[in-house]
Structure 1
Amino acid sequence: MTCRICGARLPEGAMFCGECGSATSATPESRRPVDARPGDTTVFDRASLRAGGAPGTGAGTGGTGVVSIPVHGFEPILPPEEVVTAPARFTLRFSTGEHRIVFGSGLVGRNPVAQPGEHFDHLVQIADRTLSVSKTHLEFGEHDGILWVADRFSGNGTIVRRPDDGALRCEPGRRYLVPRGSRVELASQFFEVG
């Protein structure tokens, strides 16, 4: 028997891989962790775990993308060695006057839609009467506490303006780190990362 993630040889009946720690096919469904997409980050939302939601689903957000995690009296439901730190949160302030608090991964556009087999924590819709923003304009995620964006082959492209750097036109499909204080331009609209 081999691990389906790292390919290490496993003893018969093993529930977890000794090399990478992933669950094996012998793991009962109720104890199996969420599978990450290759090259992506699995986000465990503590509020969802306390509410009984599945890890990484964003359950309990009410569809707004805003999650409140109580700070006082939080008792982890996982053993101490398995407690996952809270995901980084970012405030996206749009040129339309709206703002969203996001974590994990998401799509931004006039009417963003995930492709079959994709899962995102947020679908952030921008009101753009000029139609310069594509329906699904860009994807975002988090890496080591920093937001990244990737243009999803939009019609008018994406430009990143970092606080200490000039303008950078994003190559479609490539991820760009966007530190706090940066401005991301989506055609005639933009958002600032806080």
Structure 2
Amino acid sequence: MIQEGGRLSTAEPVRVGGHAVGLPEGVYLAPLTRRLAAFAIDVLVPYALVLLGVMITVGDGPTVLAVVMLLLAIGWAVLLSWMVGTKAAGPGMRQLGLQIVGLHDGRPIGVGRALLRGVIISLLGLSFVGLIVLSALMVVQTRRQGWHDRAVDSVVIEERPLAPPRPRPAPAAADDAEAAGATADRTGERVDLVEDDAEEPVAAGARYAADPEPEAAAGAAAGGPEPESEPEQQEAVPSRAAVPAEPAWMIILEDGREIEIGRLVLIGRNPQPGSGEDDARLIKIRDEARTVSKTHLAIAVDGSDLLVTDRGSTNGSAVTDPDGGYQLLTADEPYRITDAGHLVSFGKHHVRIGRRA
């Protein structure tokens, strides 16, 4: 263990995280040695107080000092749970650059879940065998989750920018927004080959032309003069303000290409449309490491929003929002995106979500 810039640190030769353990790229599991050191720091104060109180009680019987020690220990445990639940780290974890976050969203787990997690650790700590079993479970478990982590759906990771608590969902958009937000994608190309070593990214708009402007409504017969109206029969029709077009959704590939999403888009190593998806755009990903499934992701416009769905992939998918929080996708359950700037990770690859005005 060494001191770096006022923060305790331990050298770890290998970092484990990302798609290898079903997390977004750039999210790494906390090394067990640093977790142990952080645990020692965080529980040193309350355990020392409890031990001192027990020694006093055994020696001289219950005293005011023993009660004070016990109350201080309880107070510390509550404070620690509040810090973990709202800030994702107690003093020890903060010093060692670790965080406790929700497995499926990367956000602080809340005080209630933090208290439950602490209670489970305390109960296991009453038995030396319990601690041994807990340690063994964290060693063999893919995401290094002990019983206390799995009970509250948490994971301990290396420190990263902390996302704010998830806001309450906005009311659902009106049904007629779907017609206004979706535009037909009439390009003839069906498959886009995305290569890791692509040399010439295609400029935005070069291969995905905008839809032609609608022709003026027919008001007179072709080739015939328009009948004249009597002056007294003409009425002034107030002009209607033009409704601004909804910004088009697009995905930005790793090679810089921008693909406008006008219809269903399927992404994978060799994507195959399902029933009723014959007009889907297929984006083929070159992935020699085979971290991407054949049909890994489906992306589609839904009204003014975007839906991203994992198609039962082997290595999973995740969406990282602009605040740094992430959401692990559940197979075949659409995830709704309402604004640009999200990063969709799948295998060792990713696409960025954008909008074109």
Q: What range describes the TM-score normalised by the shorter chain of this pair?
A: 0.5 to 0.7
Counterpart secondary structure, 2:275: coil
Match of 2:212 among 58, 70, 79: 70
RMSD: 2.9
Say whether the 8 Å CA contact 1:87–1:103 is kept in structure 2. no
Distance (Å, rounded) in 2 between the aligned partners of 1:172 and 1:68: 33
Counterpart secondary structure, 1:190: strand
Q: Between Structure 1 and Structure 2, whose CA radius of gyration is higher?
A: 2
Q: TM-score, normalised by structure 1?
A: 0.58
* Pairing 1:91–2:217 present: no
Please report how far the alpha carbon of residue 142 of structure 1 lies from its aligned counterpart in structure 2 after TM superposition: 1.1
Residue in structure 2 matched with residue 140 of structure 1 by the alignment: 299
Distance (Å, rounded) in 1 between the aligned partners of 2:316 and 2:189: 27
Classify 1:105/1:77 alpha carbon distance in 2 versus 1 (closer, same or farther; 3 Å).
farther
Which structure has more relative contact order (CA 8 Å, sep 6+)? It is 2
Distance (Å, rounded) in 2 between the aligned partners of 1:68 and 1:91: 13
Say whether the 8 Å CA contact 2:183–2:262 is kept in structure 1. no
* Pairing 1:109–2:268 present: yes
Distance (Å, rounded) in 2 between the aligned partners of 1:113 and 1:156: 18
Counterpart secondary structure, 2:344: strand
Say whether the 8 Å CA contact 1:106–1:120 is kept in structure 2. no
Q: CA offsets per residue over residues 1-60 of structure 1, 9 Å max, x none?
A: xxxxxxxxxxxxxxxxxxxxxxxxxxxxxxxxxxxxxxxx78662xxxxxxxxxxxx54x
Percent identity, please. 28
* Pairing 1:152–2:311 present: yes
Please report how far the alpha carbon of residue 115 of structure 1 lies from its aligned counterpart in structure 2 after TM superposition: 2.0
* Pairing 1:188–2:323 present: no
Please report how far the alpha carbon of residue 154 of structure 1 lies from its aligned counterpart in structure 2 after TM superposition: 0.4
Please report how far the alpha carbon of residue 119 of structure 1 lies from its aligned counterpart in structure 2 after TM superposition: 3.5
Residue in structure 1 matched with residue 102 of structure 2 by the alignment: none
Classify 1:162/1:66 alpha carbon distance in 2 versus 1 (closer, same or farther; 3 Å).
same
Residue in structure 1 matched with residue 329 of structure 2 by the alignment: 170
Moved over 4 A (4+): 41-44, 85-88
Unmatched runs of 5 consecutive residues or more in structure 2? 1-177, 191-206, 219-243
Q: CA offsets per residue over residues 109-152 of structure 1, 9 Å max, x none?
A: 11110123434431122222222111100111112222110000
Q: What count of residue pairs does the alignment treat as equivalent?
A: 134
Classify 1:130/1:137 alpha carbon distance in 2 versus 1 (closer, same or farther; 3 Å).
same
Distance (Å, rounded) in 2 between the aligned partners of 1:89 and 1:134: 27
Distance (Å, rounded) in 1 between the aligned partners of 2:250 and 2:183: 19
> Quick one: which amino acid aligns to residue 208 of structure 2?
V
Distance (Å, rounded) in 1 between the aligned partners of 2:322 and 2:310: 20
Please report how far the alpha carbon of residue 86 of structure 1 lies from its aligned counterpart in structure 2 after TM superposition: 7.2
Counterpart secondary structure, 1:108: strand
Counterpart secondary structure, 2:340: coil
Please report how far the alpha carbon of residue 165 of structure 1 lies from its aligned counterpart in structure 2 after TM superposition: 5.1
Counterpart secondary structure, 1:148: strand
Q: CA offsets per residue over residues 66-111 of structure 1, 9 Å max, x none?
A: 242235xx32679xxxxxx978632211224443222121211111
Say whether the 8 Å CA contact 2:273–2:280 is kept in structure 1. no
Please report how far the alpha carbon of residue 186 of structure 1 lies from its aligned counterpart in structure 2 after TM superposition: 0.6
Classify 1:144/1:127 alpha carbon distance in 2 versus 1 (closer, same or farther; 3 Å).
same
Q: TM-score, normalised by structure 2?
A: 0.33
Unmatched runs of 5 consecutive residues or more in structure 1? 1-40, 46-57, 79-84
> Quick one: which amino acid aligns to residue 170 of structure 1?
L
> Quick one: which amino acid aligns to residue 215 of structure 2?
E
Classify 1:102/1:155 alpha carbon distance in 2 versus 1 (closer, same or farther; 3 Å).
same
